[in-house]
Structure 1
Amino acid sequence: MPLSVLDLAPISSGGDAATALRNTVDLARTAEELGYHRYWLAEHHLAAGVASSQPALVIALVAGATSRIRVGSGAVQLGFPTALSVVEQFGTLDAVAPGRIDLGLGRGGQRATREGGPPPEPKEPVGTREVNGVVIPPPFSPGRLLNLPRFLAQQELLRPPGAQPRDYAEQIDEIRALLAGTFTTPDGDPVHAVPGEGAALQLWVLGSSGGESARVAGARGLPFTANYHVSPGTILETVAAYRAAFVPSAEHPAPRVQVSADVLVAEDEATARRLAAGFGAWVRAIRTGRGAIPYPTPEEADDVVAWTEEERALVADRLTTRFVGTPEQVVAGLRRLRDVTEADELLITTIAHDHAARVRSYRLLAGAWGLA
């Protein structure tokens, strides 16, 4: 079973974006050497601790520094660009790295529609449970975060004045039509995206709930990434909704599921736990609306025990579902996740303050998993 990499190009405390991008290129070369299947770049904006605000540009850097590994987005946030601009960008990438580019699409920046939006609040209190050894925490509701004045102001900065996000399903259909060369104006005039039309892109949809993303991907016979690392409490519902909606397509006669996971591997458990110490503070900053902070050193990391009860609750689902430990411990956990979700592929994201620790984590995991 293939493993792939999701990289946010994290900026460590004391570092800068230039260093983070050089680290991304170095990690991508290592991932290719180790046998990872894909190398995807996330899209995050206005965050002091992340350098992947423009994934297409970083994908170009990575594609130019590698020769075999697939490279793509995880994911382009369709609430901000037009379908045409996405097709032109990724068509250009395919022109210079033919047959190696993945276009992952997400609903980031979209307004809630009648069929979409964040999952509803649970009607009854839900506790943490285990399903065949996989931790399923209570679902995290992003409603408070999405309504913070800072978050709303950031959304406005990312759109031209007066622009409104398009319907998500319509945008995906436009992207597919532009790639296939079948797009026409309302008057029936053909529109040709160059570069873009005919590009050998592999199209994916990413989602964190059983809502619109899962249904759109399934109904169009597209492969789907379920974000356990973002929303572990909804992973089972997300995968089930995609499979229930799936309609076979020419490219994909059966559902194809990729599941993401937060991972940190070291030679011994104590070292892994120490390297993971900054994760809680990093997630807390994101979920309180500050955005990703420069990733702290283990010495700089806040002591979660000293946090308020509300702060601990805010990050508990992410802390309890991160796979941290020795290669054997992490592989056992990832195999359980694979089995419970019936995933065809796992997407691994690893963040640590020290770049060498990140590289070592991916190297140890590749060896224990048996990548070629």
Structure 2
Amino acid sequence: MIPFSILDLSPIVEGNTATQALRNTLNLAQHAEQLGYNRYWVAEHHNMPGIASAATSVVIGYVAGGTQTIRVGSGGIMLPNHSPLLIAEQFGTLESLYPGRIDLGLGRAPGADQATARALRRDMTGADTFPQDVVELQRYFQPDDSNQFIQAVPGTGLNVPIWILGSSLFGAQLAAMLGLPYAFASHFAPAELLRALHMYRTHFKPSAQLKEPYAMVAVNVVAADTDAEAERLFTSVQQQFLYIRRGKARQMQPPVDNLRANWPENELAAMDPMLRCSAVGSPDTIQRGLASFIDQTQANELIISAPVFDHQARKHSLTLTAQVRDALAAQETELATV
């Protein structure tokens, strides 16, 4: 059965602080490690009152330092916000501290609104040079070359797997051309999912890092003991997206019993396609949903976003999802032996 991994935005819930959000992130990573999840990624977002992982490399170090075996990485670093050398040094340092456990997922978007992006980048042409920046970053991890005047220290000669992240055909083309693993952000932008996966697989060129295409696909999973409770928990992320669409991002809101009582129907209708790749419900409902999603995408790996307001309910959701993973694996084994 394919591996399951975790994407965590370190949510700051209403009435709480970034300090508690980051402590919850470490606790959730430790829980995920015990449950056998494959990797634990955090993401770069800026000027977002509900997300505590802006200093992504720092958070990765915190999580890796508090765990033992699970892979830890970025989902992703928004490379146009940084110089490739700086990221090579940061992830070279992380790999030196936690060898064999660090992933470097790279995105092309700013991870912020345009005004914040300008404050971060100063020069807004960074996205245009994303392919060249990825290649430059790759060079910094290559073995020591006396002809290369600038070196990443730490970084040179270290094996830090680079991933391309995306929600469009651009990332799929770049990952295929460079022979890199590809992660698609279908948990919030699923429109081009199947076209992007097809493009990536049909145009993939083997590289020193990867011989065959490897696609990881993101999906929201909110699991609870009953469908009704899971659907109620899911209203927190629905509210989060609704506020973002209004340009009023805020801390994650508590779940509500009736979302439609508080929001206009046209806003709810506009949000629904964004969250189409979601499995919400009891374990049986989640199992049916994920089995269908895996069959549809032929993903090599799933990365789970579990956007739940209450930390204990979030841990329980991951526990139930791990049970679903194991049930799907057992089902796959049974079919293989028939």
TM-score normalized by structure 1? 0.83
* Partners of 1:175 and 1:350 in 2: CA distance: 31
Instruction: Find 2:315's aligned residue among 324, 337, 359.
Output: 359
Moved more, 229-238 or 74-83: 229-238
Q: Deviations over 1:74-96 (max 9, x none)?
A: 01001210100110000000010
* Partners of 1:254 and 1:108 in 2: CA distance: 26
Q: Deviations over 1:218-259 (max 9, x none)?
A: 011100001210211211111112112210123321110100
* Partners of 1:48 and 1:181 in 2: CA distance: 41
Higher helix share: 2
Instruction: Find 1:370's aligned residue among 304, 326, 329.
Output: 326
Which residue number in structure 1 is paired with residue 263 of structure 2? 307
On the 8 A contact 1:269/1:324 being kept in 2, the answer is yes
What pairs up with 1:74-153 in 2 under 5 angstroms? 74-109=75-110, 151-153=113-115
On the 8 A contact 2:236/2:307 being kept in 1, the answer is no
Q: Give yes or no for the alignment of 1:326 onto 2:282.
A: yes
Q: Secondary structure at the match of 1:264?
A: strand
Q: Secondary structure at the match of 1:180?
A: coil
Q: Deviations over 1:298-343 (max 9, x none)?
A: 24x8723552343123311134432100112112211211111111
User: What's the CA shift for 1:18?
Assistant: 0.4
Which residue number in structure 2 is paired with residue 34 of structure 1? 35
Q: Give yes or no for the alignment of 1:294 onto 2:251.
A: yes
Q: Deviations over 1:205-225 (max 9, x none)?
A: 111011x21111001110000
User: What's the CA shift for 1:182?
Assistant: 6.8
Q: Deviations over 1:123-169 (max 9, x none)?
A: xxxxxxxxxxxxxxxxxxxxxxx9xxxx321111112x456416011
Name the aligned partner's letter for residue 201 of structure 2: R
Which residue number in structure 2 is paired with residue 156 of structure 1? 118
* Partners of 1:258 and 1:320 in 2: CA distance: 17
TM-score normalized by structure 2? 0.91
* Partners of 1:329 and 1:310 in 2: CA distance: 27
* Partners of 1:178 and 1:270 in 2: CA distance: 50
Q: Give yes or no for the alignment of 1:193 onto 2:152.
A: yes
Instruction: Find 1:174's aligned residue among 117, 136, 147.
Output: 136
Q: Secondary structure at the match of 1:199?
A: coil
Aligned residues: 326
Q: Do the aligned partners of residues 40 and 177 (structure 1) sit closer, same or farther apart at CA in structure 2, a change above 3 Å counting?
A: same
Name the aligned partner's letter for residue 58 of structure 2: L
Name the aligned partner's letter for residue 4 of structure 1: S
On the 8 A contact 1:182/1:190 being kept in 2, the answer is no
User: What's the CA shift for 1:104?
Assistant: 0.3
Q: Give yes or no for the alignment of 1:15 onto 2:16.
A: yes
Q: Deviations over 1:183-213 (max 9, x none)?
A: 89xxx65321101111221111111011x21
* Partners of 1:319 and 1:193 in 2: CA distance: 39
Unaligned runs of 5+ in 2: 330-338
Instruction: Find 1:267's aligned residue among 225, 228, 240.
Output: 225
* Partners of 1:107 and 1:254 in 2: CA distance: 23
On the 8 A contact 1:177/1:183 being kept in 2, the answer is no
Which residue number in structure 1 is paired with residue 300 of structure 2? 344
Q: Secondary structure at the match of 1:4?
A: strand
On the 8 A contact 1:278/1:302 being kept in 2, the answer is no
User: What's the CA shift for 1:369?
Assistant: 1.4
Give me the identity figure in percent.
38
Q: Secondary structure at the match of 1:75?
A: strand
Q: Secondary structure at the match of 2:164?
A: strand
* Partners of 1:168 and 1:267 in 2: CA distance: 44
Q: Secondary structure at the match of 2:41?
A: strand
Q: Give yes or no for the alignment of 1:219 onto 2:177.
A: yes
Unaligned runs of 5+ in 1: 111-145
User: What's the CA shift for 1:289?
Assistant: 2.8
* Partners of 1:335 and 1:102 in 2: CA distance: 26
Name the aligned partner's letter for residue 244 of structure 1: T
On the 8 A contact 1:221/1:247 being kept in 2, the answer is yes
Q: Deviations over 1:56-109 (max 9, x none)?
A: 000000000001000000010012101001100000000100010000001012
* Partners of 1:220 and 1:162 in 2: CA distance: 26
* Partners of 2:197 and 2:124 in 1: CA distance: 32
Q: Secondary structure at the match of 1:6?
A: strand
* Partners of 1:257 and 1:37 in 2: CA distance: 14
Q: Give yes or no for the alignment of 1:50 onto 2:51.
A: yes
On the 8 A contact 2:161/2:209 being kept in 1, the answer is no
* Partners of 2:172 and 2:310 in 1: CA distance: 35
Question: In angstroms, what is the RMSD of aligned CA positions?
Answer: 2.0
